[in-house]
């Protein structure tokens, strides 16, 4: 079935020393095919899917306890692991200090 609302998991990082600071700027990691920027052309690679993007879609329907891999993904993004970053469309912290 199709729902009228779509919940999305969004991964963001900040360079702020205090992430709770209201002036902290949070920057989003973009995925290759997961919906995001409305100005971006949709990704069509049928009949296949980018596995991570597809898993993110299903993770939005559950809790992080049911998708522990998201915690590991976030850790690898924080560590700027090249293999993990290669799965992303953009790295907002490229050539900068890690978030």
Backbone angles phi, psi at 90, to 5 degrees: -140, 150
| Rg of the chain on CA atoms, in Å | 15
Residue pLDDT, tens place only, 49-69: 788 988 988 898 888 899 999
Q: Label each residue of 70-99 as H, E or C.
A: HHHHHHHHHCCCHHHHCCEEECCCCCCCCC
Cα separation, 61 vs 35, whole angstroms: 15
Residues in the chain, pLDDT under 70: 1, 46
Domain ranges of the chain: 11-90
pLDDT at residue 34, rounded to an integer: 83
pLDDT at residue 87, rounded to an integer: 93
């Amino acid at each position: 079935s199709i729902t009228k609302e779509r919940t999305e998991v969004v991964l963001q990082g900040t360079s702020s020393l205090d992430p709770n600071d209201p002036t902290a700027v949070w920057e989003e990691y973009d995925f290759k095919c997961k919906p995001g920027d409305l100005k971006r052309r949709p990704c069509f690679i049928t009949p296949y899917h980018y596995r991570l993007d597809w898993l993110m879609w299903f993770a939005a329907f559950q809790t992080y306890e049911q998708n522990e891999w998201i915690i590991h993904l976030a850790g690898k993004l924080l560590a700027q692991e090249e293999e993990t970053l290669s799965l992303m469309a953009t790295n907002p912290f490229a050539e900068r200090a890690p978030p």
